[in-house]
Amino acid sequence: MLDDLDRRVLRQLLADPGAATAKLAERAGMTQASYWRRLEKLTDTGVIKGRHARVDWPALGYEVEVSLRITLEKSDPRAFDQFIEAARKVPEVTEIQTFLGRVDVRIVVIARDMAHYQSIYRERILTLPHIADLEALMTVATVKTDPSLPL
């Protein structure tokens, strides 16, 4: 489990992932060397799994984002695997999640505009295997995205 120093390091890192280590160490009230050692330990032990650049899709011309909630036909035991494998091959799919609940799978689809979305939906999404039911939620606005955790 994590100790207090680990939590302090993670809190600062999550709050400002792009900041220099020296800055983060200062905010955590630690020396740069000890901050760095903690960070290394958290990375080596797999608590920190990776650091990824966020791509701002609208800046690249992808203005539409739709969250599709999908219920699968579960008579086939391979339904999940086959659906997910096929969904991965659709270039405009950026996230795939599986759930316990009313929804089995959720995928996020991005598109340049509504016409583009419609063609992806018809040609690539509706043709995915084992779909029993699907509902679309179109993102209107992002009110909050906060990677921090109440650590």
Partner 1 sequence: MIDTDATDRAILAALQADATLSAGQIGRKVGLSQPACWRRIKRLTDAGVLGGYRIALDLERVGFGVTVFLGIKLAAKGRTSISDFERAISAIPEVQSVHHVLGLYDYRLRVVARDLGDFERVLRRRIMTIQGVGDIESNVLLSEERLPGPLGHDLA
SS3 call for 33 = helix
Contact 72, 86 (CB under 8 A): no
Q: How far is the CB of 49 from partner 1 (least distance, A)?
A: 4
Burial class (CB within 10 angstroms; exposed 0-12, middle 13-18, buried 19+) of 80: middle
- Residue 69 in contact with residue 103, Cβ under 8 Å? yes
Rounded to a whole number of angstroms, the minimum distance from the CB of residue 122 to partner 1 is 17
Provide the minimum distance between the beta carbon of 89 and partner 1 in the complex, in angstroms, as a whole number. 9
Residue 150: which residues within 8 A CB-CB, separation 6 or more?
Answer: none
* Residue position matching structure tokens 């679309």: 136
In the set 23, 78, 88, 122, which binds partner 1 (CB under 8 A)? 88
Site map 31..60 versus partner 1, x via CB under 8 A: --------------xxxxxxxxxxxxxxxx
Q: Which is nearer to partner 1, 30 or 70 (CB)?
A: 70
Q: Which stretch binds partner 1 (CB under 8 A): 20-28, 30-38, 94-102, 121-129?
A: 94-102
Cα angle for residues 109, 107, 86 (degrees, 5° grid)? 95
Binding to partner 1 by residue 137, rule CB under 8 A?
Answer: yes
Strands 105-111 and 64-72: antiparallel
Least distance in angstroms from the C-beta of 61 to partner 1:
4
Q: Which residues bind partner 1 (CB under 8 A)?
A: 1-2, 10, 13-14, 17-18, 45-62, 67, 69, 88, 91-103, 106, 110, 135-151
